[in-house]
Chains A and B, each alone.
Chain A
């Protein structure tokens, strides 16, 4: 079970958080302009790699804020957390 450093609250137990999948998938501003394939790309396609991955997390039993995380899925090491809207820190 991870210890997660919420950018708003500090270090907390993983049980206070929920995972929200791959980060930096932006909802298209003009969905109606998109083909079925382009829309499907946004809607369904998610990476699930072994290694360093950018993820969304929510401090659901705390401040309820969403934030991003750089996590290595092969060893669960969390390299960084950063706020929504911020650029991922360079690996």
Chain B
């Protein structure tokens, strides 16, 4: 286990800087430049996790974002740990702690592995089929299924890291910093286009960066050497911004893209502190060049999932880039030329290559010849029929393929190995292209889906566009970019390129074995443990759509979203069902391309910045006086003011009594206020409210009810006529913004002929409401020169006045049923006027009250709260407020709907009062109301909308909506609760002072 598999030749790894890290509790060492995966491989660790369903040992399979197996948990503190990160993408840093997932007690000895032995009994959809019956047992099954479900462990505490969002605008965005992306970015920037080049790795260059092979030369240099110089020239190119460690997550319409930049994930633990961890870039690009490259495909054969089985191009990257040997006796298995490059790299680095198993009959491309020249043994027209080794591959079995490729023939050859490189060809990364709405076409010759039609200003170049060979990549990328940007740059046209050309192609989606399919395990989706057998089973059971097969077998539904498995799943489905792959289509590629952290998604909008908080100018006073607050829309409103450890109930009882017996003071600044001016202001109000406004005198106030066009109550409030053509409308706190939008909509679209202007003045005024029998005395102390007699200043009227030279608008209006005034002042004076009112009221023991007491007081009077006693299904008639509907007006918003067949039904739910038989029993808001309790099931007739214990009446009161309630006054009803049934009687909605005597008290 402690073998060192590092060779000291890589230029990309700092051989002198040793980094210590922990994996599954064990301290290991790697080098700067390593990924967690390369460091583990250097320590000869292949087994890193267990598969999801059968708990089979699994190892590192790739070197990039498509990794299905090596997903690990990061961090030692379980409360802030990060699950499901790909070891192939984690850059090694000092102090990194990682552990295996999906195994217990350890990755080496995992109890769940027993599932592997029962695997013949656990086919696709096993859980759906097995736990269907008996239905009542689900409660028991669910517990056990939940225990074994899920990947990794979620953190339990808030994320301490800082995340960020930023916007970016550019002429050209190039996604992918491989050779084609570099060509595109340089061409674009040199042509004075503001260009951004992003790549998810820590440096540019893609795979050409370490392609050092006689068969790939540019202008007589090795391709990697040419590219290195090309990258160096980028530094001096103007108009070019390069962002590495930046993954494009999503590509939306109108070239709007999201990219996640990793800023500190690669830094040592102590260097990370205080810095932004990840930044989400919101990019708007005029043009987009997709150069995302391609992914190598695995091959699907029996037991193709053992630790030590790795994609051949990844083995090449580990040896050529990281200087790490994936094994010392490597076998390679292929259907294309890729593995020959790997074989040559391995041989040149002193790793012995057992043999290459190639399913093709024979081929003679440049690179194959070179491999043969090096003496590498090749098994032509052969396949691997089985692999052995539980926690690490130790041998393979090879057989010859029959001519039609459906069976195996001749003698079985056994070959010992500690690593098997596989290559099933290449899949263009068309994810971003399809995310953006692009349509794909299928190329039969090498079984790839390629970008076809798009509505956006974008192109795909390089291997994501189906150009897999160096010559084509360079020449075609340059040509396409020139055309796309409408320029003429022939820098790359002139290059002399040597590049091996693949001459023969052959593909078998599911490779045959000497055993019957039922006795083999050819894995398709390594993360979700679905095999070729499962897909075939789904087809036999009648699933035809690729989307259905995917969900039934869970193929492609892991954290890797089937990057490796999807093509083979499609191939096997097409083959089995006898349809063409191009006609079958693909499953939908959805963003994000790789998983995003929640932190990156929310950015800075966490904690108190999650939403906007609005505070009244008097807020500080409430805080100082120990108010509890409630959220009303975005507002913080004083809820109640507990004294000496009072409960909320006690506070509200005390505040309510004080307001009725002497005086109460309320901060009403949050009410929406809309300033309405214009020669047609009165006509406008006539059209938006149900009642008539033309005859309202200047200086008078009126309550209005606003409906939707469907006749349902939308908002309510008092509007005051300040002058001939000037009104100020108040709305509910929560409805203010919507009411303004709705009124604007009508003004701009339906009634543009009206001369009316609307301005929101909610924030410009602070409103202090004083109510109670002593409110008049308090106001006369504050404004001695104002005549407060009922004749001069009656209920529902308005006066301009001033308190110590502070101008104020005083309305005598009441939401509590008490004699009461609302004083409106410029908001900057709000707190000082509030304090003056409080001072003046001291001799009357003026009591500050919050929203809860306000609600109780209005309920005693039967006043509705739009949104609490109404829910968008109540007409004014349902609320028994027929009096507010003008009979004379020809039209207003919602009028016609008030006599639709549905709204004139007698048995609609109507607002009523409820009294409990036991006056001390308080109903729960939302509780259901029924007419009898003996029968079950019984129709629900309505529900409680508001409920309080009234200290002024000394009994419990409630408002409710009940079917046909209007005609049921005096009737007994029942409110069934969990452990009792409460008897109630339907009453009038007004509980206190039916004659409105207190208004003028």
Contacts and interface: CB of A to CB of B under 8 A. Distances in A.
Interface of A: 1-3, 13-14, 20, 26-27, 30-32, 34, 36, 39-40, 43, 56, 58, 60, 64-66, 75-77, 84-85
Given A31-B895, A43-B897, A60-B741, A76 B253 contact: yes
Given A1-B254, A1-B256, A3-B284, A66 B900 contact: no
B743 to A, nearest CB: 11
Given A3-B284, A58-B745, A36 B253 contact: no
A40 B891 contact: no
A43 B437 contact: no
B752 interface: yes
A3 B890 CA distance: 42
Contacts of A26: 750
B709 interface: yes
Given A2-B254, A85-B752, A40 B900 contact: yes
A75 B745 contact: no
**B254, B709, B741, B749, most chain A CB atoms within 10 A:** B749
A58 B256 CA distance: 21
B455 A27 contact: no
Contacts of B709: 27, 43
B748 A65 contact: yes
Contact of A84 (B254, B748, B900): B748
B253 A39 contact: no
Interface of B: 252-254, 256, 284, 437, 455, 709-710, 741, 744-745, 748-750, 752, 890-891, 895-897, 900-901
**A14, A27, A34, A56, most chain B CB atoms within 10 A:** A27
Contacts, number: 54
Contacts of B897: 39, 43
Given A3-B254, A32-B891, A56 B900 contact: no
List the 3 shortest-distance A-B pairs measured between CB atoms, nearest first: A31-B896, A1-B256, A66-B748
Nearest to A18: B741
Contacts of A40: 900
Contacts of B256: 1, 3
Contacts of B455: 75, 77
Contacts of B748: 65-66, 84
A66 B745 contact: yes
Given A1-B256, A77-B455, A85-B752, A31 B744 contact: no
A34 B899 CA distance: 11
A83 B897 CA distance: 29
A31 B749 CA distance: 17
A36 to B, nearest CB: 5
17 contacts: A2-B254, A13-B284, A27-B709, A30-B891, A31-B891, A31-B896, A32-B896, A34-B896, A36-B900, A36-B901, A39-B900, A43-B710, A56-B749, A75-B455, A76-B254, A77-B455, A84-B748
Contacts of A32: 890-891, 895-896
Nearest to B255: A3
A2 B284 CA distance: 10
Contacts of A39: 896-897, 900
Contacts of B895: 31-32
Nearest to A32: B896
A3 B891 CA distance: 39
A15 B744 CA distance: 20
B739 to A, nearest CB: 14
A1 B741 contact: no
B900 A1 contact: no
Contacts of A43: 709-710, 897
Contacts of A75: 253, 437, 455
Given A1-B254, A76-B437, A84-B749, 18 more contacts: A1-B253, A2-B253, A2-B254, A3-B254, A3-B256, A27-B709, A30-B891, A31-B896, A36-B901, A43-B709, A56-B749, A58-B741, A64-B744, A66-B744, A66-B745, A75-B437, A75-B455, A76-B254
Contacts of A85: 752
A20 B253 contact: no
A13 B167 CA distance: 11
A7 to B, nearest CB: 12
B426 to A, nearest CB: 30
Nearest to A31: B896
Contact of B749 (A30, A36, A66): A66
B916 to A, nearest CB: 40
A43 B893 CA distance: 12
A77 B456 CA distance: 9
Nearest to B744: A64
Nearest to B747: A66
A40 B741 CA distance: 24
Contacts of B752: 84-85
B470 to A, nearest CB: 36
Contacts of A34: 896
A52 to B, nearest CB: 14
A20 B741 CA distance: 11
Contacts of B741: 58, 60
Contacts of B749: 56, 66, 84
Contacts of B284: 3, 13
Contacts of B710: 43
A36 B897 CA distance: 8
A65 B748 CA distance: 8
A13 B925 CA distance: 42
**B254, B709, B901, most chain A CB atoms within 10 A:** B254
A33 B258 CA distance: 53
B675 to A, nearest CB: 15
Contacts of B896: 31-32, 34, 39
**A13, A31, A60, A65, most chain B CB atoms within 10 A:** A31
